[in-house]
Structures are given as structure tokens and as C-alpha cells.
Amino acid sequence: MEVKEYQKLIAEIVDKIDKKYNIDRTPELNISQITEELGELAKEANREKLRDEKPEKKDLEDEFADVLLQLIKLADHFEVDIEKAVLDKIEVLKKRHDLE
């Protein structure tokens, strides 16, 4: 599946969930949820330091997915093509750091 297809699928699923629970999704809500999900990812990634336990791969995957879902939904709100944005940024970084 292409990134554009993921972006469309994610937007559709989040829209259905929002409709089901009568959520008025705004960019501010998305940013708040990204922050919340980043906190959960940080907690899981730091599990070994915080609880002397290795993080479970499945838990890390879930938290990465939650962050990505919220980020992609925010990009969709602003009509940002994530695939294009990332590829463009990669080119900028290659030039900036003389990696070509």
C-alpha cells in the first residue's frame, strides 16, 4: 500500500470514529492527541529505565501507530501530502548535509 493510500484510509477511519462519537476534530484536538500519544510512546520506550523491564515490541508498535495515525490525520486536515512532504524533506537533507 502506498503512503497516499494509508493517508486516505487513516483519514476515513478517524472520520468514522469521530462521527460515531460526535467529535468535532480540529487541528488543536489533533495536536493535543499527538502530544498524548507521544507521551505514551516515550513511557513505553523508557520502560527499561523507569521499571527495569524491557519494552514489549507489540506495545511499541501500538504507540508508534497511534502517533502516526494522529499525525497523518492532522496532515490530512491541512491537505498535506505526507509522501510528497517526506520525499521533499529527504532531498533537502541530502543537499544540506552533502549526502549526494
Rounded to 5°, the CA angle 21-58-84 comes to 70
Grid coordinates representing 75? 496532515
Question: How many structural domains compose the chain?
Answer: 1
pLDDT in tens, 9-68: 999 999 999 999 999 999 999 999 999 999 999 999 999 988 889 999 999 999 999 999
Residue 77, pLDDT above cutoff 90: yes
pTM reported for the whole predicted model: 0.88
- Alpha-helical runs (H) found in the chain: 3-20, 27-45, 47-51, 57-77, 82-96
Q: Rounded to whole angstroms, how far apart are CA atoms 7 and 13?
A: 10
| Residue 71 domain boundaries | 3-96
Q: Confirm if 63 and 36 have CB atoms less than 8 A apart.
A: no
Q: Which pLDDT does position 50 carry in this prediction?
A: 86
The enclosing domain of 48 has a CATH number of: 1.10.287.1080
